[in-house]
């Protein structure tokens, strides 16, 4: 019985860790591109950023910077590979910082584009599952528990500034089994945003604690 319990626990632990590559290609109008830049999305396309998942944590590894999100504790870490530094802060604090950096006229422009009532052609939101249904137990469980894991982490901040879209994104998340590719369109015929998101090379395997930490020699910024 003890051996069987150990095997089951090991299996559950494996399901709690996963790694994959997140590729995306997003075309957006000038306003969205500007807001995305202020929110930390320095690029709107990638051939595949490496993503590691362990428990409530998700690490998105980029060439110039990486971001570690811990939805269990509400903490996050920003790692700058250019300056070899890292900074710890709360996810909510980051949202407030982003909102403070975005000029008032841009926020007002977003509110006009995405009215809270959800009416108007600009509120046309489509999500097309174009990939194959794939067994991604850890990713599916993470997304169901913590939120927008299937999308770009920076979109957490963008969505909070677009209240009219928040419910739509939630319905996408709750729409059933994950697929390995989805297309998102906002606005009539995707005139506001047209994006393709793909999960590549997904595998469930142990992620070491050292992989979820800043590289050795990096200095913490306080």
CATH of the domain at 154: 2.50.20
Domain ranges, residue 184: 17-221
DSSP string, 156-179: HHHHHT-HHHHHHHHHHHTSSS-B
DSSP string, 42-99: --SEEEEEEEEEETTEEEEE-SSEEEEEETTTTEEEEEETTTTEEEEEEHHHHHHHHH
Structural contact between residues 62 and 78, judged by C-beta atoms closer than 8 angstroms: no
In a domain, 61, yes or no: yes
pLDDT of residue 84: 97
In a domain, 73, yes or no: yes
Residues 103-140 have pLDDT tens digits of: 777 777 776 766 554 445 456 777 777 888 888 888 88
In a domain, 112, yes or no: yes
Which stretches of the chain drop beneath a pLDDT of 70?
Answer: 1-15, 39-42, 111, 113-123, 147-177
**Helix or strand holding residue 31 (H, E):** helix 30-38
pLDDT of residue 4: 44
Structural contact between residues 212 and 61, judged by C-beta atoms closer than 8 angstroms: no
pTM for this predicted structure: 0.76
In a domain, 34, yes or no: yes
In a domain, 4, yes or no: no
In a domain, 22, yes or no: yes
| Strand, coil or helix: 34 | helix
Distance from the first to the final alpha carbon of the chain:
49
In a domain, 148, yes or no: yes
pLDDT of residue 157: 57
Q: How many domains does the chain have?
A: 1
In a domain, 45, yes or no: yes
State the Rg of the chain over Cα. Answer: 18
């Amino acid at each position: 019985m003890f051996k069987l319990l150990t095997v089951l626990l090991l299996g559950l632990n494996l399901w709690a860790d996963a790694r994959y590559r997140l590729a995306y290609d997003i075309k957006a109008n000038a306003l969205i591109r500007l807001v995305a830049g202020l929110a930390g999305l320095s690029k709107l396309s990638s051939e595949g950023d490496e993503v590691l998942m362990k428990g409530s944590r998700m690490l998105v590894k980029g060439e110039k910077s990486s971001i570690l999100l811990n939805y269990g504790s509400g903490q996050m870490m920003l790692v700058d590979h250019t300056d070899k530094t890292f900074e710890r802060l709360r996810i909510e604090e980051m949202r407030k910082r982003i909102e403070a950096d975005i000029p008032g006229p841009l926020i007002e422009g977003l509110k006009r584009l995405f009215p809270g009532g959800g009416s108007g052609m600009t509120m046309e939101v489509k999500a097309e599952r174009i990939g194959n249904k794939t067994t991604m137990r850890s990713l599916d469980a993470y997304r169901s528990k913590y939120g927008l894991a299937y999308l770009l982490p920076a979109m957490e901040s963008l969505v909070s500034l677009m209240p009219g879209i928040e419910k739509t994104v939630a319905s996408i998340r709750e729409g059933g089994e994950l697929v390995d590719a989805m297309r998102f369109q906002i606005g009539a015929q995707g005139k506001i945003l047209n994006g393709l998101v793909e999960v590549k090379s997904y595998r469930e395997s142990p992620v070491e604690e050292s992989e979820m930490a800043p590289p050795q020699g990096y200095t913490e910024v306080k």
